[in-house]
Amino acid sequence: MSTNWKRFARWAVSSLALVASMQASTVLTLTPSSTLSGAGGTTVGWGFTLFNNTNFLVVNAAAFCVNPVSPPACTTPGAAIGTFTDFISAFNFFVVGPSPESTSVSQSFNSALHTGIGSFAIAPGAGLGPINGQIVLDYSLFSVSPNDPNFDPNLDLVVADAFVTASTTVNIVATPEPASMGLCALGLALTALAVRRR
């Protein structure tokens, strides 16, 4: 084998190992943990903790994908079941990485403030039962923090699109009904009172 091919082979193996180690150092944890419950017409959502200790991570997008998931391909639940809204990249900007940044960023879910990974608006007519899936986070890694005044997104880009996932379930439950027995009893009492007055 020629010297150039040996160098190329060593470079290729080193590059693959570097990319694998960078992706392995990123962890996404959802809060609350894996299962959310809500009735049709309500909105549920996820908070998160994102850990990264290699290079500087910037989130590109988030999605709620139904199983099986194979990023970057994503099958969404469909509008008849519900709609996911990405909060983490659309309304927030985080750089997660070594000093001077923080290796861990956490944020709780708040629909009004657009905080957390995102929300899932359950369609009013959605069928009951669980929707098993994953939150898929698409991110880029840079060798220099985007907050650094010398940052150049073209020169400092290490990985354009990497993915980290976290399993989750949205359990669609029945809409709570008012206490129908109490309403029936009240109706019968009023009817009896009306009959008695005659």
In a domain? residue 110 = yes
In a domain? residue 45 = yes
Domains of the chain: total? 1
**pLDDT tens digits, residue range 47-105?**
999 999 999 999 999 999 998 788 888 999 999 999 999 999 999 999 999 999 999 99
Spatial distance between the Cα atoms of 36 and 120, rounded to a whole number of angstroms: 10
Identify the residue whose tokens are 């956490």: 106
**What is the residue-wise DSSP string for 129-158?**
EEEEEEEEEEEEEESS-TTSTT--TTTSEE
In a domain? residue 132 = yes
User: What integer pLDDT is reported at residue 26 of this predicted model?
Assistant: 94
Domain boundaries, position 170: 26-197
Mean pLDDT over 145-160 rounds to: 96
In a domain? residue 20 = no
Spatial distance between the Cα atoms of 157 and 139, rounded to a whole number of angstroms: 11
User: At residue 112, what are phi and psi to the nearest 5 degrees?
Assistant: -70, -35
In a domain? residue 170 = yes
Predicted TM-score (pTM) of the model is: 0.75
In a domain? residue 2 = no
